[in-house]
Structure 1
């Protein structure tokens, strides 16, 4: 089953390709100028080392970003905890969020309301990619709850078939990368609000 690559995987493959291009380009360019294979190999190796160091730096920044987001804590949650955490996250975004009962939810784990519109959400706390079934279930839930929109949110990613079905049915898929962005935005605003309150208390 085809799967859409995550952003981090795409970046990793990009840098691998870049390392190869830098090495070959450095060797060819140096040889054309010096006619020395020894100097060409040195330049090629130095180029690869530079790309590897850049990859390490980016990986460190990505790791720090993941720690700030709290996604690793979400990875340890069970399904019900994930649903309630998403309820908190969406309430922070201004939605009225209701977590449905664990059984007999008709395909919706949360029901969001905002500005007169209703959104059904299926939450998937997975260690693997989410497939077609989640999209089919949330689409049915949209009809059952007479909702305007249907979303599937996961801490993982989706299969390519899930993306294709979601696109044709107007279902929004929120994968790990987008969830991390939402978490960072929430934590950033909470941190800014805390600092503002601390400043008010200090000046009072």
Structure 2
């Protein structure tokens, strides 16, 4: 997790893109600016999921939840997620519950990384793959 904790936000989005693709999601990156509150748009079956990716050194507050709620209308999503390398404030948890936003925290991210690496025996671990990529190619 130290490597993730030191990444830029764009690098973190790239890691999440790989993780989610490995789980069968079609992943689209939103523009660097003017993204209407979403960093990733996922599609799987009939689901359209907007994701706010928050790589931070602090716990994530209510604004991330509010952003993804707003993004869901713009992208016509039926599910909303916020994924972070940290944890959430109580206000963010309450707001997420009221607005049906799925919060994935540091512990969930660790499980996602372990699952990816466990099921990727023929591939290199994800963090080594990502660190060699040019993140601007993912936009």
Provide the secondary structure at the position in 1 that maps to 2:41. strand
Unaligned runs of 5+ in 1: 1-70, 195-204
Query: Is 1:149 matched up with 2:79?
Result: yes
Deviations 1:162-186 (A, max 9, x none): 0011001100000000110010000
Q: RCO higher in 1 or 2 (8 Å CA, sep ≥ 6)?
A: 2
Q: How far apart, in 2, do the equivalents of 1:78 and 1:128 lie?
A: 14
**TM-score, scaled to structure 1:** 0.59
Aligned ranges 1:128-139 → 2 under 5 Å: 128-139=58-69
Provide the secondary structure at the position in 2 that maps to 1:190. coil
Match of 2:33 among 86, 96, 103: 103
Unaligned runs of 5+ in 2: 124-139
Residue equivalent to 2:53: 123
Runs of 4+ in 1 over 6 A off after TM superposition: none
State the shift of 1:144 in Å.
Answer: 1.0
- Considering fraction of residues, name the structure with more helix: 1
If you compute each CA radius of gyration, which structure gives the higher value, 1 or 2? 1
State the shift of 1:73 in Å.
Answer: 1.2
Give me the CA root mean square deviation: 0.9
